[in-house]
Structure 1
Amino acid sequence: MSQTAAEVSGDGANSSSEPPSETTVFEILSNDRRRFVFHYLKQRDRRVYLRELAEHVAAWENEKPVDQLSSAEAKRVKTALHQHHLPKMDAQGFVEYDRQRETVALADAVSDLEVYLDVVPGGDVPWSLYYLGLSGLGLLALACVSFDLGPAAGVPDIACALFLVVAFLVSAGVHTYLNHAQLRLGSTADPPEVGER
């Protein structure tokens, strides 16, 4: 799986303290397990028990339903969350983790944070390369139309320009839909990258 963080923004409307820096957000969310924690807590929007959180994270990691997890799979994730990931997220102001009660919730500073992933399945290309390629083809088409080369000879300049504008408009529309409807952490049942490995 290849992915890049595409956009991170927080409006901080309901936060009682400053949201973490972009560098901190990228550091915390660079790990799949912590990203799954953030996704689950964004979905629930409440304090959850560590066991519940660990079961869902383990299910996503193993790409199977919670009721099909072995106790070893769930315990391994619970231990790692308890000993490493949640304390780190708590220290960075990302979550509020109560080690004694084993409960966790998103910190106020990140409750409104929106994180978008550019998830790139194996045979696909990232959007940035897609737009770069589309721009290159557009320049080539404009040059062919301008100099009456090849099959573009006789095609009006305005027809070529209109075609390129529509191609970019459709591409941007699809990209926007995917970002806001499917690639935002916490907005879907499963994290965006589950099933793309």
Structure 2
Amino acid sequence: MFPQSTLTEPEIYGVLSNPRRRETLAALWDAETTYTLRALSERLATAESGLDPAPRALRESVYNALHQTHLPKMDALGLVAYDGDRKTVTALPASRRLTPYMDVVTRAGITWGEYYRALGLVGLFATTTTLADVPLLGAVDPLIPATVFLGLFAVSTAYQLTGGRVRWWLTRALRR
């Protein structure tokens, strides 16, 4: 079978309706490499249980569900390349089309949308209070908070768009 080139909205929501499929995509995007089924199931089981290592029964349950249901479904839709014989899985470029449908949660436990809204509101508040001559803040030039918060938006956007690869590169460079 040839993978579909475009997914319909019901297919997209069908894939993303399951937490294990969402976590699978997030793990594959994060790693940007081929996962073994065993390693992927252990990662998902750890995330589900909050224990490292996750209980054996949960790891086996996740392994079986991925192998029998989730990965074949995503493979048929052209989102991942799943080799059931070798038990390897890789995200395909088409899977990135689902990114707008997934609200990614930061390490702080909030979504990027919430983060940007809060950053915008705080920046707007800081800038307008300097313009309104509020005591103590009225002495600050309004360009200072505006510039600081625009800089924070730029740095945050760069971090989000690179998916933390800069952090990965720095960690790798420091190990040498």
TM-score by length of 1: 0.56
* Counterpart contact for 1:96–1:107, Cα < 8 Å: yes
TM-aligned CA deviation for residue 29 of structure 1: 4.9
Q: 1:171 aligns with which of 152, 155, 166?
A: 152
Cα 1:24/1:171, change in 2 over 3 Å: farther
Provide the residue aligned with 1:56 in structure 2: 43
1:83 partnered with 2:68: yes
* Counterpart contact for 2:12–2:98, Cα < 8 Å: no
TM-aligned CA deviation for residue 30 of structure 1: 6.1
CA distance in 2, matches of 1:31, 1:160: 50
CA distance in 1, matches of 2:160, 2:97: 15
Q: Which has the higher contact order (CA 8 A, sep 6+)?
A: 1
Show CA shifts across 1:127-166 (max 9, x none): 2133123213422331x23xxx64566x4xxx52222233
TM-aligned CA deviation for residue 77 of structure 1: 0.7
Cα 1:45/1:25, change in 2 over 3 Å: farther
2:142 maps to amino acid: A
Provide the residue aligned with 1:107 in structure 2: 92
SS at match of 2:78: coil
Choose between structure 1 and 2: higher helix proportion.
Answer: 2
1:126 partnered with 2:115: yes
1:1-197 equivalences under 5 Å are: 18=5, 28-29=15-16, 31-42=18-29, 43=31, 45-46=33-34, 48-65=35-52, 68-99=53-84, 101-110=86-95, 115=99, 117-119=104-106, 120-121=108-109, 126-142=115-131, 144-145=132-133, 150-151=135-136, 155=139, 159-176=140-157, 178-180=159-161
TM-score by length of 2: 0.61
TM-aligned CA deviation for residue 24 of structure 1: 6.4
* Counterpart contact for 2:41–2:59, Cα < 8 Å: yes
TM-aligned CA deviation for residue 104 of structure 1: 2.5
Percent of residue pairs identical = 27
CA distance in 2, matches of 1:79, 1:173: 42
Q: Which runs of 5+ in 1 are unaligned?
A: 1-15, 189-197
* Counterpart contact for 2:15–2:21, Cα < 8 Å: yes
CA distance in 1, matches of 2:22, 2:65: 14
SS at match of 1:160: coil
RMSD in angstroms over aligned alpha carbons? 3.9
SS at match of 1:93: coil
Choose between structure 1 and 2: higher strand proportion.
Answer: 1
